[in-house]
Structure 1
Amino acid sequence: MKVRHEFCSIAPVLDRLCPMHAVLDRHGQVVHAGPTLVKVLPDQVVVGQTVFDLFKIRRPLCDGSMLALLRLSGSKLHLSMRAPPHTDLKGVLVPLHGPQPENGCGHAVLNLSLGISVQEAVRDFSLTSGDFAVTDPTVEMLYLIEAKSAAMDASRKLNQRLQGAKVAAEEQAFTDTLTGLKNRRALDAILARLIANEQDFALLQIDLDYFKAVNDGLGHAAGDHVLQVVAAAMVDETRKVDTVARTGGDEFVIILTGVTDAAKVGDIAARLIARIKRPVTFQGQPCQISASIGAALTCDYDVPLVSRLIEDADHALYAAKHRGRGRYVVFNPRDGLD
């Protein structure tokens, strides 16, 4: 009775100083468990089980008896939970009433620690600083983990914002602000990539006819509106794999990826010309324009060069204009203009 009375008086002290402990009787049965120990063994009734039912003692070797365990009192014990997730623990056993006699009578306290498993245990068992003694170094480690987690979260959010800003800046750098099409810089990068990958394509140089008359007669607002309508029409008449770029005031370039048939290029050019020729209304006033197109195909060259393609497509464009505007010409490097 004396042992039981003294134990009852120190139980609250043990719960505060070492909340992850178990008080064992002389048979190794748990007669009291600290609040943190109960928390990390939520699916088990801890009190009433033996220490050997709850934990596997890995080092030092023990034959599974309380007498053998008492002989290890004061030594560092390496244990693991028998229940999932089989968390590794460190521990030390201390008799409550000094050295035990050989028959192992009396109570003992097994104080446990999570050791290097603390981070996983905090996650697995939802532990907080309140589950540890205030003097436990683990509390400081929890603060470090929380601080690291907060810092990583802030860093991740900052990186996301920076990445978003970078993408926005890159898009702005490669986008024509008026039409939303690719600009000259983007076109140069796309052409270089296609040539490097030895991928065939058709290059169409497009120039708007009579656009200056719109600007002079109705003002730049009308001209901007016409450019936006024309840009939308070009996007509608091409595929997602194609590229539509505005390279100057009323100058555009279309890259038809994978196209090697001059007749198909002609069909697309004719469709574009017909679409652009439709009158555009601005503030009730009709804006009448047309388009001249010159084209060159990489498949017509033994060694296609961007500069040569652009130059030949440009020659074809001016040939289309000289032939009356509102038409297309496909350049043939072997025979000249078609």
Structure 2
Amino acid sequence: MTVLDRAARDTLMPMHVLADPDGRILSTGPTLARIAGEMQLAGRDLLSVLPVSRPAGIVSAADLRAASGRLLWLRLGLGGPELRGVVVETGEGGMLLDLALSLPALSGIDALGLSADDFAPTDRTPDTLYLLEAKSLLSSEAARLIARIEDARVTAEAQAGTDPLTSLRNRRGLDAVLARLREGAAPFAVTMLDLDGFKAVNDRLGHAAGDALLVETASRLLGVTRGDDIVARTGGDEFVVVFPDLAARDTLADIAARIIAALELPVVLGDDRARISASLGTALSTDYVLPDPARMIADADRALYAAKEGGRARHVFHTPRHGRSARKPVEGPDG
């Protein structure tokens, strides 16, 4: 066959290889030369720089001529891009090999420094590149969307378990904490806390002042408890403190005393000052064969009411003598 001149070959087959009858490279297209970079191609044995992996057994120029018209799979150098190609014989006994990047090689085309201008006008490689880029963009956008959905889910779950006024955990958040502790082997304690005197402040100064007092109470509770302790507001002026890895009565009594002392400090509410205190009741997981959070909360609640009945501003540990029929006393004018 008559071989096209160099300009025509470079335009129509920018990744071609022209070889002599012995398989030695005479010239290459501009795109293949760009991919090869500093690798010298002209003058070298074609199969030494472009070994054929499929079909198997092509190891000589004669083998390559015998494969004329068949689809070949080759690789440029050691670890280079995978290529597809078709070889035909030329009239001078040489060979003309037309190459194209394989689909796997297209994913790394940025590293090869190629653009649409490096391919023949009829080559569909640029179209494939656009599709791959679109797929990459869609995958990235999908990943970002999934991340946003996950962030929204986490935020929604956090908000569902958070008291909007104090930013403490609410009853739902508290239940989740207690469920985890129940499954563990470490001891823990649950302390119920009810403010003494809150109703009088709320009635005298209004609900806005009452809300500010609850926010200050939450801040003080966080300030006197340990970093790993969990403080929750379960409703009204009722709070719960959970103490992971702690069931020592003396330590818990000390913390309860600090809580009462902190809450008895005056609170500035606008132009007014308010004073409150708190009554506390505590249940220990070590007092149960199988700790049940619901029962522990109920027992801590009974101990709390015993503290109120004993004079308020006190802390009481639950004991069986507190019984199962304790009821919250009716608050007087001082709460």
Q: TM-score range by the shorter chain?
A: 0.7 to 0.9
1:247 is paired with a residue whose SS is strand
8 Å CA contact retained: 2:47, 2:59? no
Structure 1 SS opposite 2:153: helix
Alignment of 1:185-334 (within 5 A): 185-333=172-320
Give the counterpart letter for 2:223 in structure 1: D
Distance between the aligned counterparts of 1:307 and 1:71, measured in 2? 84
Deviation per CA, 1:70-120: give whole Å up to 9, x if none.
33322332322223x2333222212333xxxxxxx4543211123343334
1:8-19 map, 5 Å = 10-19=5-14
Amino acid at match of 2:198: F
The answer to whether the 8 A contact 2:83-2:105 is kept is: no
Separation in structure 2 between the aligned mates of residue 130 and residue 287 of structure 1, nearest angstrom: 79
Number of aligned residue pairs? 322
Question: Contact 1:300–1:332 at 8 Å: present in 2 too?
Answer: no
Matched, 1:21 2:16: yes
CA distance in 1, matches of 2:69, 2:38: 30
Moved more, 43-52 or 144-153: 43-52
| 2:141 alignment partner in structure 1 | 154
Give, in whole Å, the separation in 2 of the partners of 1:336 and 1:223: 31
CA 1:277–1:231 in 2, change beyond 3 Å: closer, same or farther? same
Distance in 2 between residues matched to 1:39 and 1:93, nearest whole Å: 21
How many angstroms apart in 2 are the aligned matches of 1:278 and 1:301?
Answer: 36
In terms of mean alpha carbon deviation, does 146-155 or 27-36 score higher? 27-36
The corresponding residue for 1:101 is none
Given the superposition, is the C-alpha separation of residues 63 and 137 from structure 1 closer, same or farther in structure 2, using an over 3 Å criterion? same
User: Which residue number corresponds to residue 95 of structure 1?
Assistant: 89
Find the counterpart in structure 2 of residue 48 from structure 1: 43
Superposed CA deviations along residues 165-210 of structure 1, whole A, max 9, x for unmatched, are: 1111111111111111000111112222222335421000001111
**Is the CA contact (8 Å cut-off) linking 1:60 and 1:78 kept in structure 2?**
no
Q: Any stretches of 5+ residues in structure 2 without a counterpart?
A: 324-335
Using the alignment, how far apart are the partners of 1:312 and 1:71 within structure 2? 91
The residue that corresponds to 1:62 in the other structure is 58
Structure 1 vs Structure 2 CA RMSD: 2.4
Aligned match of 2:27: 32
- CA drift at 1:68: 4.3
Between the aligned partners of 1:126 and 1:240, the Cα distance in structure 2 is 55
C-alpha separation in 2, matches of 1:112 and 1:278: 85
Tell me the secondary structure at the aligned position of residue 329 of structure 1. strand
TM, length-normalised to structure 2: 0.87
**SS in structure 1 at match of 2:84:** strand
Which deviations, in whole Å up to 9, do the C-alpha atoms of 1:196-227 show, x marking residues without a partner? 33542100000111111221222222222221
| Counterpart secondary structure, 2:318 | strand
Moved more, 139-148 or 228-237: 139-148
1:140 is matched with which residue: 106, 109, 127?
A: 127
CA displacement 1:47-70 (0-9 Å, x = unmatched): 333313312233342343x34433
Distance in 1, Cα, partners of 2:308 & 2:175: 25
* Structure 1 residue corresponding to 2:70, chosen from 67, 72, 75: 75
The one-letter code of the counterpart of 1:220 is H
Shift in alpha-carbon separation, 1:46–1:247, aligned structure 2, 3 A: same
Q: What are the ranges of 5 or more consecutive residues in structure 1 without an aligned counterpart?
A: 98-104
Cα distance in 2 for partners of 1:62, 1:153 equals 42
Specify the SS of the correspondent of 2:51: strand
The range that moved more, 69-78 or 315-324, is 69-78
Q: Which amino acid aligns with 2:126?
A: V
Asked if the contact 1:114–1:121 (Cα under 8 Å) also holds between the matched residues in 2, the reply is no
**Percent of aligned positions with the same letter in both sequences?**
40
